[in-house]
Amino acid sequence: MKFLKDNTIVDIMEAKPEDAEELLELFKKVGSESTNLIMDHNGLDISLEEERKYLKEANEAITTKHFVAKVDGKIVGDCGIKGHKASKTKHNVDLGISVLKEFWNKGLGTILLEHTVNYARITAEIKNVYLEVREDNDFAIKLYEKLGFKKVGVMPDKIFLDGKYYDELIYLLQI
Ligand SMILES: CC(C)(COP(=O)(O)OP(=O)(O)OC[C@H]1O[C@@H](n2cnc3c(N)ncnc32)[C@H](O)[C@@H]1OP(=O)(O)O)[C@@H](O)C(=O)NCCC(=O)NCCS
């Protein structure tokens, strides 16, 4: 149990296959509330069965994990790492995070990211935690730099949004 800046109680836990439907709804909502994610109001373009399967596999895996934040039993944010499969790159994971707009700037992003990074630290398998962030996503960049992520690359013009190209930045935390 953790407290947000406004004293709201939040529980962080690993997502279970039973959370699949609610998670897909969360992705649709955050995708419609923010242009900062690659997904839009359609959320993740996968079926409920595929999401259930993904969460089951994540429960059993080490380098793929999906954590959710629940307030009064309802999912309000998530943070996940996805491990690489090839033997030469399996020490790398890709991280993604989202929080419902209603809960922004209350410390939830920090709590979710810390929880996920702490998990990565206790595994022996993970060396590099990578993430991608659009160059103008200032709050996300502040969050990542606060937790020690360093900018290691730029993908010029990767994002095209509302008639404009944006760079996508690559951030890395070495464990
Ligand atoms: C990015 C995101 C996860 C941050 O979540 P959050 O719950 O707002 O994060 P926090 O409240 O812990 O804030 C983290 C830092 O961001 C900055 N920040 C957040 N909101 C801010 C605001 N309104 N004004 C100024 N700084 C702000 C602060 O530096 C803060 O750290 P601090 O509290 O120690 O000062 C959330 O905004 C989000 O889900 N956005 C949409 C999806 C997205 O962009 N995901 C990341 C894609 S790469």
Residues shown for the chain: 175
Distance CA 111, CA 83 (A): 21
Amino acid present at 168: E
The percent of residues above 70 in pLDDT, for the chain, comes to: 100
pLDDT at 54: 97
- Residue recorded with tokens 């690359």: 153
CATH numbers and ranges of domains, the chain: 2-126 (3.40.630.30)
Closest-CA residue to 134 (of 162, 107, 170): 170
- Mean pLDDT value across residues 70-80: 98
The 3-state DSSP class for residue 72 equals: coil
End-to-end CA separation in angstroms for the chain: 25
What is d(CA 49, CA 134) in angstroms, rounded to the nearest whole number?
A: 30
CA nearest ligand 1 atom 9, residue: 109
DSSP class of 102: G
Atom of ligand 1 nearest to the CA of 106: 11
Q: What is the spatial distance between Cα 76 and Cα 70, in angstroms, rounded to a whole number?
A: 6
Confidence of residue 26 (pLDDT cuts 50, 70, 90): very high
Task: Report the nearest atom of ligand 1 relative to the CA of 104.
Answer: 8
> What does the pLDDT look like over 37-68, one tens digit per residue?
988 898 988 999 999 999 999 999 999 999 99
* Residue 140 CA, ligand 1 centroid: distance in Å: 5
* Longest distance between any two alpha carbons in the chain, whole Å: 44
pLDDT (tens digit per residue) in 5-21: 999 999 999 999 999 99
For ligand 1, atom 27: residue with the closest CA: 139
pLDDT confidence of residue 120: 98
Which of 159, 110, 165 lies closest to 133, judged by CA?
A: 159
* Residue range 76-105, pLDDT digits in tens: 999 999 999 999 999 999 999 999 999 999
Distance CA 71, CA 135 (A): 30
In degrees and rounded to multiples of 5, residue 141 shows phi and psi of -60, -40
Average pLDDT, the chain: 97
> Cα torsion for 41, 36, 17, 172, to the nearest 10°?
160
